[in-house]
Amino acid sequence: MREAGWSRELTGTLVAAACAVGVLPMLVSTYTLTVLVIYGMLGLSLGLVWGFGGILCFGQAAFFGLGAYTYAIAAINIGESTVPMLLAVAIPAGFAALLGAMLFYGRLTDVYLGVITLVVTLILHRFMNATAGSDYVIGNARLGGFNGIPGFQTLNVPGHPASYVWGDSLYYFCAACLLLVYLLVSALLRSSFGRIAVGIRENETRAALMGYDVPARKTVMFTAGAAIAGLAGALFANWAEIVTPRLFSLGQSADIIIWCIVGGLGTRIGPVLGAAGLSYLKFLLGQQGLIHNSVVSGAILVLFVLFLPGGIAPVLANAWRSVTQRRPRRRSPRRRGPRSSLASGDA
């Protein structure tokens, strides 16, 4: 039963993704779409950690920025992009494992966790801003202070440093990465590890009394989220072709949280849609001068918290169900209910 559900879901996801990836370039330029896909991945990283792991991390931008900086610095020093891409996943993950272990074994929860992750991001922001001048050099890469690091080797076909992946190809590459990450996240949530993580989110004390090592599991979850954010950061560096301390900014961190809330916390697709949708809105608003961006995102956040606290994804899922269930039902909906709440997010 579970296997059948998984293969059906897999097919559904692949078909939906192929349609979206194919159709969207007719409506929006691939250059813009690329960054929307990257932000979708960044949203998904916090959606996993917060929505399923119950860890409210205010500093997801720290891992995003670290991924981008790691890529830029490594690309300048190494030249070929394959190893820098891998490092951009590994270094934020390693940093998150250390930070997470300190937080979770120190029994910090809720608001303290939020404050510390936020402060870590602000420290990185401050630090990167202060790295102007020739004293701050890693290998051949100057950190460049608030100007950031431009001019690094961008993504190339592995083994062929001269064949760049850019433009439309970068868009398709990013979309494939997002799809892969999405499927990995889905598989993780279906596994026992994912189900236990949701149990920990629901009741940590009970999970501990069942015999589950809560700090270790939360650290792993936190690390997985950071690895995804790091990958998103590396892709962002390739898209923007420059990394600046703004990646670590407070606004960036806040945006990720808003994406998750608006998209739908506790679903997988919600944060992806929230990220892409709100970022596109921000892009459109950026083309006019009448009303400031942050006013609109703030208003959207307030409206969602008040009127649609579950976010968009559950609404879409319900709409989809009411469309598909007009036909005579083949399977009993009762059977789907509780199982899918664990593997979660029918959307």
Residue 264 sits in the site that holds another protein (CB under 8 A): no
For residue 138, is it left (φ>0), alpha (ψ between -120 and 50) or beta? Answer: beta
Using CB under 8 A, which residues numbered 281 to 340 contact another protein? 334, 337-338
The residue range among 60-68, 95-103, 177-185, 189-197 that interacts with another protein, by the rule CB under 8 A, is 189-197
- State which of residues 49, 170, 207, 273 lies at the interface with another protein (CB under 8 A): 207
Smallest CA-to-CA distance from 86 within 223, 221, 234, 185 is with 234
The residue range among 132-140, 207-215, 220-228, 294-302 that interacts with another protein, by the rule CB under 8 A, is 207-215
Sign of the torsion angle spanned by Cα atoms 149, 154, 155, 158: negative
188 vs 342 by CB, closer to another protein: 342
91 vs 196 by CB, closer to another protein: 196
What is the token pair recorded at 307? 């009127």
Using CB under 8 A, which residues numbered 209 to 228 contact another protein? 209-214
Total residues binding another protein (CB under 8 A): 23
Cα→Cα distances 192→77, 180, 217, 218, Å? 41, 20, 12, 14
Nearest distance, CB of residue 287 and another protein, angstroms: 41
Listed in sequence order, the DSSP H helices in 246-330 are: 250-263, 269-285, 293-307, 312-324
Nearest distance, CB of residue 275 and another protein, angstroms: 24
Q: How many residues does the chain have?
A: 347
Residue 202 sits in the site that holds another protein (CB under 8 A): yes
Number of H helices, E strands in the chain: 14, 6
Residues near another protein (CB under 8 A) are 192, 195-196, 198-199, 201-203, 205-214, 334, 337-338, 341-342
